[in-house]
Structure 1
């Protein structure tokens, strides 16, 4: 039996569309506010006070009130010493009757010589001056401030998904025919 078979193969078609994505970024908004720090400096100029009065007084250079006061004290002391000397000399002369040597030549010799002189060597002046420093420095400050605020912005994203489309481009077919060979 003669058969004739004709086949047509099926064909598949593929159509694609690529995916696409776009991203747009926007800058966020930032604000910075500052307050400057403040420094306050309050100063009183320094003054050096030097008191040399004691040094000058030791050298004999005194003011009138102190000099008068010292002279009064010295006069009182000398007055008391003189009274003590007169009393001692009078008592010495009163002892003549006890058989002691004559007192008048002894007293005259003592008064003729005078007091012994004394010398003192040392630094002049012997005390130091008083030194004071007055003045001040006051520093105060206020801290500064920084305020930062930031507002983010979201990106804008657009996405188109891709597609893959499969379709039948040509249908398959089979054609079977009987062929008569007798002809």
Structure 2
């Protein structure tokens, strides 16, 4: 027996897309920038160094003494010579008082008084070592620096933005369809 059949045959719709991509451009110009750095304020105070050279002792060693020093030495030497002379005269007087004891006191005294002191000579450095006195006070420097802040100026530039939107076009490439077929829908003989 043959059965009636329905046959369905379908096809899907096919579509096509034409796409124009969007275009976007962004340009950013660098910022305009200026920086200025003022110089620091610098204050320097200097106390100069002091060098003192005292060559008084060196000059005295070379017998180049000042007038006041010579007067002082001569006065001291005169006083010492006066004391020595008094002691010598006192001793000579005592010797003359005892002339009766014998001896030739006058001749001995005359010989002693006519004889001068022996001259002495010594080798040495003129002037003597370390006779020049040096005194040095070093300089003092005070430095005060006041820094200055930089002056910064910035101008920001806006970006240049260009945008072209995209486009999509849709087209139907194939229509959808449905075909229906009936097989053996009206058989010729029923019941065969």
CA distance in 2, matches of 1:56, 1:80: 29
| Residue 146 (structure 1) aligned with residue 157 (structure 2) | no
Distance 1:151-1:136 versus aligned 2 partners, 3 A rule:
same
Aligned to 2:64: 61
Further displaced range: 76-85 or 140-149:
140-149
Q: Deviations along 1:129-163, whole A, 9 cap, x unmatched? A: 23456784636233343365878889769796897
Distance 1:6-1:59 versus aligned 2 partners, 3 A rule:
closer
Kindly indicate whether the alpha-carbon contact (under 8 Å) linking 1:21 and 1:159 is maintained by their aligned counterparts in 2: yes
| Residue 82 (structure 1) aligned with residue 124 (structure 2) | no
Q: Structure 1: any 5+ residue segments left out of the alignment?
A: 179-183
- TM-score normalised by L of structure 2: 0.63
Aligned to 1:173: 178
CA distance in 2, matches of 1:165, 1:129: 114
- TM-score normalised by L of structure 1: 0.65
Find the partner of 2:105 among 92, 98, 103: 103
> Higher strand fraction: Structure 1 or Structure 2?
1
CA distance in 2, matches of 1:82, 1:159: 133
Aligned to 2:15: 13
Kindly indicate whether the alpha-carbon contact (under 8 Å) linking 2:50 and 2:139 is maintained by their aligned counterparts in 1: no
Question: Shift of residue 51 of structure 1?
Answer: 3.6
Kindly indicate whether the alpha-carbon contact (under 8 Å) linking 1:25 and 1:154 is maintained by their aligned counterparts in 2: no
